[in-house]
Amino acid sequence: MMTIKNGADIQKMKAAGRVVEETLALMEKLVRPGVSTLELDRAAEDFIRSKGAYPSFLLYNGYPKSICASVNEQVVHGIPGHYRLKEGDIVGIDVGAKLDGFHGDAARTFCVGKVLPEVEALVRVTRECFFAGLQYARPGYRISDISRAVQAHAEAHGYGVVRELIGHGIGRDMHEPPDVPNFVGGGFGRGVRLIPGMTIAVEPMINLGGREVLQLQDGWTVVTKDGKPSAHYENTIAITEGDPIILTWSGGADYGPC
């Protein structure tokens, strides 16, 4: 059931979002050639717990780790392991934290050293897709207005927009209604009309090549069908009477180190 949050609820979500933001800042510092995704996971879990929060993803529907770390052609839900990042990789890191009963959820795609120009452009444009959608995260618009803006910006650059995975409502539960797709159509309709107190996670997942994806046998990791890189950018936002509030980002640079 979709829930409407009051001011106190949103402040609690902002506190959870701050933990997520600080965890991603730590990840950016640690991402470098030679570090394993498992080392990133352990550092993230330790940090989240040090803030009195709980890693939202850990054991969620059986997921075995505290973050998702998706490298290169991995779109989302990459399970941290012994893979060591290499110069030229990109890694999408998705972080969730639960604090005082509420969740925050955000993702960034980081460049490992120097990457190909076309890959750096993908990371940048994926971030831009989020902000294109954010313009419509206001009362009176519908979810589909956000979706349309994300899709249009990605496709204007010739990128594939993933359809099998979407954004979502968020609050006391990690995933709540409404669905927040990054495209229009596909049976989703126009989506609900946005009203103050709604909190949603908007998360463009954009491929350098085609939009088609596959799920690996681990039951979690989603990869591009054509093997080309994919980028992921996400924030939790609150709908207000005026401008939306980004609960997982307080400003400044938030993708890198491209």
Indicate whether 256 pLDDT > 80: no
Given pLDDT bands bounded at 50, 70 and 90, which one contains residue 163?
A: very high
DSSP 8-state symbol, 79: P
pLDDT tens per residue, range 169-196: 999 999 999 999 999 987 676 779 999 9
211 within a domain of the structure (yes/no): yes
SS3 197: coil
Domain extent at residue 155: 7-246
The alpha helices in the chain, defined as continuous H runs, are: 7-30, 37-50, 117-134, 143-156
252 within a domain of the structure (yes/no): no
Cis peptide before 117 (omega within 30 of 0): no
Q: How many domains does the chain have?
A: 1
Q: How far apart are CA 55 and CA 32, in angstroms?
A: 23
Q: How far apart are CA 94 and CA 107, in angstroms?
A: 4
Give the whole-number percent of the chain exceeding pLDDT 90.
93
Given pLDDT bands bounded at 50, 70 and 90, which one contains residue 207?
A: very high
Pick the closest to residue 23 from 79, 97, 85 (CA basis): 97
pLDDT at 253: 78
pLDDT at 16: 98
* CATH number of 123's domain: 3.90.230.10
175 within a domain of the structure (yes/no): yes
Whole-model pTM? 0.97
Structure tokens at 108: 């960034």
Q: What is the mean pLDDT of the chain?
A: 96
Give the whole-number percent of the chain exceeding pLDDT 70.
98
Indicate whether 159 pLDDT > 70: yes
258 within a domain of the structure (yes/no): no
Mean pLDDT within 187-215: 93
pLDDT tens per residue, range 10-64: 999 999 999 999 999 999 999 999 999 999 999 999 999 999 999 999 999 999 9
Written as one letter, the residue type at 170 is I
Please name the residue that has the structure tokens 């604090």. 99
SS3 95: strand
77 within a domain of the structure (yes/no): yes
pLDDT tens per residue, range 87-100: 999 999 999 999 99
Given pLDDT bands bounded at 50, 70 and 90, which one contains residue 257?
A: low
Pick the closest to residue 109 from 17, 19, 215, 31 (CA basis): 31
**2/134: higher pLDDT:** 134
Mean pLDDT within 68-75: 98
1 within a domain of the structure (yes/no): no
254 within a domain of the structure (yes/no): no
104 within a domain of the structure (yes/no): yes
Strands (E), the chain: 54-55, 67-71, 74-76, 90-99, 102-111, 160-161, 167-169, 176-180, 199-202, 205-207, 213-215, 222-224, 230-232, 235-238, 245-246
